[in-house]
């Protein structure tokens, strides 16, 4: 990405203006001048926001991996593409060059072809943060298969529902994964998931922990056996601009996760452009994003954005506190990281430790530090700025979503003056608008409202896999003609945006999106539970934690309540994975409901936060007396 790099604030404003005045011309030039194409597009963008139909670079032909790998081979063949930093610091880090990565990707594409995968097929990838994860993703892209990475912390039920939803015939997993001082047997989870997935024909297993695994003859294969024999030559598939690239599941406000579908050309252009500008990536930089590739941040800013720019990107297998709480700082010093991108929840947990853990490391290589996933509070922002950035590295507080494909609102380093807790200004091409609840646009500054986006951008997800109606209803119906983000935001006196949090039934816990409905569905599976309601409450490390109000089928007097709480959390762990566990559970005799039967979550949120000051208007409640009962019985 050589062209369209922004160097100063006046240039940002100039580019921004241009991008809004004539988005087609703006994106046309970026796409034309920075990528390799087999065939050019005949229309930059075609959209119908009413019906949620969006297409970019129509009829262009390309393959994203030609842009991520092949085109770098001449100039950057020996350059390190991926640094793999293992969980155990005594295991040697791996430096994988562009040439080596390209070869591994071609071999993997041949392995997958031999297993019967062809263009358009979906492949689920359930792997820890090891190089094979990136190799699998890129191999799918090279052969035109649609990857769907499932975060390797999800339970067998969650894996099964995703595999079934996208109709994958092949799963790539590992025997197990290392996380800190624990190891998790992933293949066992896949075996259990497969009992609930009639479609799966083949399982490709990467050896990582060496744990014992059960193999089913004809279905399960060790990657090592097939990889060794695979040819390093693979003919890249020619893809259409709008061919699916990947499906990534995100929580919704109903029980079923939403398979967000991203397509090829627009996603490529948007992630490459934003990576270059938001991180100020220079040729010899070593960039590290600590997210998991199981989330969108890992897709766009560990794999695609960096590789599209010929960058060196780090894949870290471990956790921030293993073996000691200075692991992040040690890795920064060891690999001389220049850009470091992490989540507020990680910053808050490390800020709780003594500052000596940071101070004892040389972090002078750092130039830009970033934050993503949830609002960063003032205290965490300052700690990050003082101790990690040493007040010299700009913090890029990047707001975006699985659905947006890439960063939407963020400071540009050394260009946009930062302001604690503010994501600041939109990227060129992005038109944020604030809307009131009556669907009127709120103009001017020092205002707040529902955050929407006016015009499509190349990275926007195109649909929910298999359910376009849900896509349209979730994102394009609340504020007709606009994309609704589900977030609230305020705009300050100079036009900077601050994201205030979700305005829907999604709660962000340690940066993970969790819908209340799927958790409630899962709790209600416990035989003793009649009904439940989940809300978020402030937590000093996780940002928000989960609080469950649970009605038991009988009053439960005879049951051990503490045990019951454990059982409820076990059900959640089994169906969704441990990330959705409740921090607090309160047994109640009823929930506050309106006459139309809706739970008044606003009241439960206040009780969960310990704020009993003013419950507002409770006149529409069918059972107002329950509010006092719940308040007084608070655990
Ligand atoms: O509420 C916003 C929050 O995370 C949501 C998107 O979550 P997900 O799709 O998992 O993607 C996370 C990584 C891009 C948003 O709707 N969010 C994300 N970044 C920020 C944020 N909230 C405040 N500030 C941010 N920088």
Per-residue pLDDT, 635: 45
pLDDT tens by residue, 192-211? 999 999 999 999 999 999 99
* Amino acid 620: pLDDT: 79
Atom of ligand 1 nearest to the CA of 499: 23
Q: Is 345 in the pocket of ligand 1 (CB under 6 A)?
A: no
Identify the three-state secondary structure at position 238. coil
What is the reported pLDDT for 597? 76
- The predicted structure's pLDDT at residue 596: 73
Task: Give the DSSP letter string of 69-130.
Answer: TGGGHHHHTTSEEEEEE-SSTTSPPEEEEHHHHHHHHHHHHHHHHHTT--TT-EEEEE--SS
Splitting the chain (635 residues) into consecutive groups of 10 residues, what average pLDDT does each group show?
A: 85 97 97 97 97 98 98 98 98 98 98 98 98 98 98 94 97 98 97 96 98 97 97 98 97 81 98 98 98 97 98 98 97 98 95 95 98 94 98 98 98 98 98 96 96 98 98 96 96 97 90 89 91 94 95 76 94 91 94 83 92 83 89 72
Element (H, E) at 483: strand 483-491
**Ligand 1 contact, 449 CB (< 6 A):** no
* Four-way CATH pick for 64-237: 1.10.530.10, 2.60.40.10, 3.20.20.80, 3.40.50.980: 3.40.50.980
For 507-634, CATH number out of 3.30.300.30, 3.30.70.20, 3.10.105.10, 1.20.1630.10 equals 3.30.300.30
Q: Which of 293, 508, 512 to mutate to test the pocket of ligand 1 (most atoms within 8 A of CB)?
A: 508
For 294-336, the pLDDT digits (tens) are 999 999 999 999 999 999 999 999 999 999 999 999 999 999 9
- State the CB neighbour count (10 A cutoff) for residue 248: 27
Predicted ipTM? 1.00
Where exactly are the structural domains of the chain?
64-237, 507-634
Residues 297/291, Cβ–Cβ less than 8 Å: yes
Residue 525 in contact with residue 575, Cβ under 8 Å? yes
- Strand-strand pairing, 286-289 and 312-316: parallel
151 Cα to the center of ligand 1, angstroms: 17
* Confidence (pTM): 0.93
| Closest to 264 (Cα-Cα) out of 20, 113, 68, 472 | 68
Note whether 69 and 307 are within 8 A (CB). yes
Query: Considering only CA atoms, which residue is closest to atom 5 of ligand 1?
Result: 401
- As a 3-state breakdown, the chain gives helix, strand, coil percent values, each rounded to 5, of 35, 25, 40
Q: From the CA of 582, how far away is ligand 1's center (Å)? A: 21
Provide, rounded to the nearest whole percent, the portion of the chain with pLDDT above 70: 98
Nearest CA to ligand 1 atom 23: 375
Rounded CA separation 397/278 (Å): 10
End-to-end CA distance of the chain: 55
Burial of residue 621 (number of CB atoms within 10 Å: 0-12, 13-18, 19+): middle
Ligand 1: which atom is nearest the Cα of residue 423? 26
């Amino acid at each position: 990405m050589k062209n369209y790099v922004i160097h100063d604030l006046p240039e940002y404003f100039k580019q921004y203006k241009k991008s809004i005045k004539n988005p087609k011309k703006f994106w046309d030039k970026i796409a034309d001048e920075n990528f390799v194409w087999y065939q050019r597009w005949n229309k930059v963008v075609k959209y119908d926001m009413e019906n949620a139909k969006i297409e970019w670079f129509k009829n262009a032909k390309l393959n994203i991996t030609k842009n991520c790998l092949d085109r770098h081979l001449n100039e950057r063949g020996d350059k390190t593409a991926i640094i793999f930093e293992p969980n155990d610091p005594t295991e040697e880090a791996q430096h994988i060059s562009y040439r080596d990565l390209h070869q591994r990707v071609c071999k993997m594409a041949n392995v997958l072809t031999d297993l019967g995968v062809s263009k358009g097929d979906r492949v689920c990838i359930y792997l820890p943060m090891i190089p094979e994860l990136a190799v699998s993703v890129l191999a799918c892209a090279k052969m035109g298969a649609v990857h769907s990475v499932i975060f390797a912390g999800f339970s067998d039920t969650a894996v099964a529902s995703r595999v079934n939803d996208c109709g994958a015939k092949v799963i790539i997993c590992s025997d197990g994964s290392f996380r800190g001082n624990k190891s998790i047997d992933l293949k066992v989870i896949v075996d259990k998931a497969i009992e609930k997935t009639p479609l799966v024909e083949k399982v490709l297993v990467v050896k990582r922990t060496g744990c014992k695994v059960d193999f089913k003859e004809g279905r399960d294969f060790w990657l090592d056996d097939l990889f060794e024999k695979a040819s390093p030559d693979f003919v890249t598939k020619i893809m259409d601009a709008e061919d699916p690239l990947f499906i990534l599941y995100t929580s919704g406000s109903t029980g079923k996760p939403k398979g967000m579908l991203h397509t090829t050309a627009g996603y490529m252009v948007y992630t490459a452009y934003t990576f270059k500008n938001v991180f100020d990536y220079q040729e010899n930089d070593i960039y590290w994003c600590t997210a998991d590739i199981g989330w969108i941040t890992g897709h766009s800013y560990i794999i695609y954005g960096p590789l599209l720019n010929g960058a060196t990107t780090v894949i870290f297998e471990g956790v921030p506190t293993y073996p000691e709480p200075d692991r992040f700082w040690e890795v920064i010093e060891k690999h001389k990281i220049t850009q470091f991108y992490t989540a507020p929840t990680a910053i808050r947990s490390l800020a709780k430790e003594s500052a000596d853990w940071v101070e004892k490391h040389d972090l002078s290589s750092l130039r830009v530090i970033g934050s993503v996933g949830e609002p960063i509070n003032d205290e965490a922002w300052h700690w990050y700025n003082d101790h990690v950035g040493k007040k010299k590295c700009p913090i890029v507080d990047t707001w975006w979503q699985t659905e947006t494909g890439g960063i939407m609102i963020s400071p540009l380093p050394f260009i946009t003056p930062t302001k604690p807790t503010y994501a600041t200004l939109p990227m060129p091409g992005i038109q944020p608008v604030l809307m009131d609840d009556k669907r009127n646009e709120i103009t001017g500054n020092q205002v707040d409202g529902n955050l929407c986006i006016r015009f499509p951008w190349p990275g926007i997800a195109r649909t929910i896999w298999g359910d376009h109606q849900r896509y349209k209803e979730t994102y394009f119906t609340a504020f007709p003609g606009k994309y609704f983000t589900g977030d609230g935001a305020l705009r300050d006196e100079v036009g900077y945006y601050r994201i205030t949090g979700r305005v829907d039934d999604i709660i962000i816990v340690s940066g993970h999106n969790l819908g209340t409905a799927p958790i409630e569905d899962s709790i209600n599976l416990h035989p003793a539970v009649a009904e439940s309601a989940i809300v978020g409450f402030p937590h000093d490390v996780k940002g928000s934690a989960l609080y469950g109000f649970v009605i038991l089928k009988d009053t439960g007097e005879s049951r051990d309540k503490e045990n019951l709480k454990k059982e409820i959390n076990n059900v959640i762990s089994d169906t969704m994975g441990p990330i959705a566990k409740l921090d607090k559970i309160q047994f109640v005799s009823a929930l506050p409901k309106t006459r139309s039967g809706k739970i008044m979550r606003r009241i439960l949120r206040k009780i969960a936060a310990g704020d009993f000051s003013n419950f507002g208007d409770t006149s529409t409640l069918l059972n107002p007396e329950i509010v006092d009962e719940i308040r007084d019985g608070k655990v």
